[in-house]
Structure 1
């Protein structure tokens, strides 16, 4: 008997816009990206969520708000 689970997560960028402030590492411009993630099981969508992520445009670091 063979049981195979086919699941995965797909992410796509919905929008991008400049964010106020500067990167604390390189003083570059910060970009806010809205990313939609969707969990699939056997090609059926189970869960969808939109998150806002911040990245530096110069050093490409992911920035976290505290």
Structure 2
């Protein structure tokens, strides 16, 4: 007996916005991105999640806001 899970994750950028502050590594401008993730099981979407990520526009490092 063989059990196979077919799970796929799609990631789509909804929008980009300028955020206040500067990158602590290079001093570049910080960008906020709204990202929508969709998990699919056998091509049927069963989970959606929208999250805001922060990245530096110059060095492209992901930034964590505390």
Q: TM-score range by the shorter chain?
A: over 0.9
Number of matched pairs: 66
- The list of structure 1 runs, each at least 4 consecutive aligned residues, that deviate by more than 3 angstroms after superposition, is none
Length-normalised TM-score, structure 2: 0.94
User: Alignment partner of 2:65: what SS?
Assistant: coil
What whole-Å deviation, never above 9, does each CA across 1:2-60 have from its counterpart, x for those lacking one? 32211021100000011010000000000000000011100010100100000001111
Structure 2: state its 5+ residue gaps: none
Structure 1: state its 5+ residue gaps: none
Length-normalised TM-score, structure 1: 0.94
